[in-house]
Amino acid sequence: MINETTIRARYAETDQMGIVYHANYFTWFEIGRTEFFRTFGLDYRELEEQGVLLPVIDVGCKYKISAKYDDEIIIKTKLIKVKGVRLEFNYEIYRKKDNILLAEGYTKHAFVDKELRPVNFRNKFKELWNELKESVEEI
């Protein structure tokens, strides 16, 4: 399953030349990931309230073409791996008006509790675990 989220590049996300600052792509990844989870009827707040955190343990981004102020941006998010206490997402960032790929990246996460100890998500949330497994997109 690939989730698509559309946002608009805000002025505060750009530099003096109107180009989106590189670190903002990681925020866009988070937006895509949050919306991905919403498709399962679950948000991060609910996970946290149930004692599960998803810290980023690895992240990367390859920039192709700069996004600019006021561009409509499409964030394509796909889950590519769920195994044990880890999961991995891939992202593609497109400019909506011409469907040009601007950047691609990934984040890796671990299911942990508030003390940062691993959580057996599969046992704690069996139904959601199965839905996540079924949504994995092979790359």
Give the model confidence (pLDDT) of 76-119 as tens digits. Answer: 999 999 999 999 999 999 999 999 999 999 999 999 999 999 99
Backbone angles phi, psi at 92, to 5 degrees: -130, 135
Instruction: Choose, from 15, 43, 58, 113, the residue flagged as catalytic.
Output: 15
Whether the predicted pLDDT of 40 surpasses 90? no
Residue 139 pLDDT more than 80?
Answer: no
Backbone dihedral region for residue 123 (phi beyond 0: left; psi -120 to 50: alpha; all else: beta): alpha
Right CATH number for 2-135 from 3.40.50.1240, 3.40.50.300, 3.10.129.10, 3.40.50.2000? 3.10.129.10
In terms of DSSP H, where are the helices of 1-139?
24-38, 44-49, 121-124, 126-135
> Distance between CA atoms of 50 and 65, rounded to whole angstroms?
40
Q: Is residue 15 annotated as part of the catalytic site, yes or no?
A: yes
Q: What is the pTM of this model?
A: 0.93
User: What are the boundaries of each domain within the chain?
Assistant: 2-135
Counting residues of the chain whose pLDDT is more than 90, the rounded percentage is 88
